[in-house]
Structure 1
Amino acid sequence: MVVLSILEKGVHSYNGCLFAQPLLTKACTSAFTGALGDFLGQLITKQPSINLFSIARYASFGFVVTGPMAHHFYKMLDKVVPASVWGAAFKRLLLDRLLFAPLLLLLSLYLLSKLEGKSHRTCMGEVRLKYWAALKMNWKVWTPVQYININYIPQQYRSLFANVVAIFWIIYLTNKRRQAAAKNH
């Protein structure tokens, strides 16, 4: 009963924040899940020490990029393709998979490298090296998730739903980035 009470209070508090400050709430949630995904990725790969700068990069990216982009994309998606439109589920999925996902992945790969202090040339080289493989994996992993998210999850919870799944995606991405870095050293 105590756990249920705490959970109910947490949900009530989150809903209050979501109502009062939806963009800020989604940005904070994205920051938290980004940091958590990177932290767990570091634990799983048994890094010699926890890289707090890496965690901060993922948190910053979630706060500044992922949270706001997802918030605005999901709002726009409902306006551009209302649920009442014929084939809405498929059309929404196509917009997400062919426009939003490629752009967000490109920004992720580039900006996370840039936040590591790498040059534009180096960042672009990493993007060219990793983008296509990561996008194909994104399409495999995220297509069923996003189908559910954009067609069955209420708009105000779509970012949260995606953020929870993103914890595992970030673990995958951080491990791929660390494997690539280990090969280059």
Structure 2
Amino acid sequence: MGAGDVIAQQLVERRGLRGHHGPRTLKMMAIGFCFVGPVVGSWYRILDRLIPGNTKVVAVKKMVLDQGGFAPCFLGCFLAITGAMNGLSVQDNWSKIQQDYTDALMTNYCIWPPVQIANFYFVPLQHRLAVVQCVAIVWNCYLSWKANQM
């Protein structure tokens, strides 16, 4: 999450080192450490218990459950937490979520389904979070940019 935010600030927003907002990077790191990592790691363990195995059919089932159920809820929670940590009022946070949610979810669907099918089919459970985090550097850059546009 921290690396994604640094990339967002430096390469996407072109803030430069003097314009880099350190507290924002620290907030994103905290969200990653306290929310994203534990929730996603737990989700993969639950998903593996719900749908055991690693056949192609199982991988597709896991991806559908992941992207159809987990991703929409997770994304809404992420945007809400980010808005709260940015000091938005409940009303402003809700408006920001309504503004950003659909676009973020559609972008999610462009990236994650093929990644997750490969992840669920080829990667053992204990390594799935690491694989996701490699792809997530780009995703977290997008999320940081999206969540911090005011």
TM-score, shorter chain, exceeding 0.5: yes
Q: Structure 1, residues 86-137: CA drift from partner, whole Å, max 9, x if none?
A: 9312210111001111111111111111101111111111111110111011
TM superposition score normalised by structure 1:
0.74
Q: Gaps (5+ residues) in structure 1? A: 1-33
Is 1:35–1:56's contact at 8 Å kept on the other side of the alignment? yes
Is 2:79–2:147's contact at 8 Å kept on the other side of the alignment? no
Between structure 1 and structure 2, the one with the greater Rg is 1
In structure 2, what is the equivalent of residue 41 of structure 1? Answer: 8
CA RMSD of aligned residues (A): 1.7
Across the two proteins, how many residue pairs are aligned to each other? 147
In structure 1, what is the equivalent of residue 97 of structure 2? Answer: 127
In structure 1, what is the equivalent of residue 125 of structure 2? Answer: 155
- More relative contact order in 1 or in 2 (CA 8 Å, sep 6+)? 2
Q: Per the alignment, do residues 52 and 79 of structure 1 end up closer, same or farther by CA in structure 2, a change over 3 Å counting?
A: same
- Name the SS for the 1:87 alignment partner: helix
Residues 137-146 or 80-89, more deviating: 80-89
TM superposition score normalised by structure 2:
0.91
Is 1:74–1:150's contact at 8 Å kept on the other side of the alignment? no
Is 2:83–2:147's contact at 8 Å kept on the other side of the alignment? no
- Name the SS for the 1:83 alignment partner: coil
Q: Structure 1, residues 41-65: CA drift from partner, whole Å, max 9, x if none?
A: 1111211511111111111111111
In structure 1, what is the equivalent of residue 79 of structure 2? Answer: 109
Q: Structure 1, residues 2-37: CA drift from partner, whole Å, max 9, x if none?
A: xxxxxxxxxxxxxxxxxxxxxxxxxxxxxxxx0011
- Name the SS for the 1:63 alignment partner: helix
Distance 2:54 2:109 in 1: 26
Distance 1:109 1:97 in 2: 17
Distance 2:147 2:36 in 1: 19
Q: Gaps (5+ residues) in structure 2? A: none
Percent of pairs with identical residues: 28
Is 2:28–2:144's contact at 8 Å kept on the other side of the alignment? no
Q: Per the alignment, do residues 97 and 86 of structure 1 end up closer, same or farther by CA in structure 2, a change over 3 Å counting?
A: same
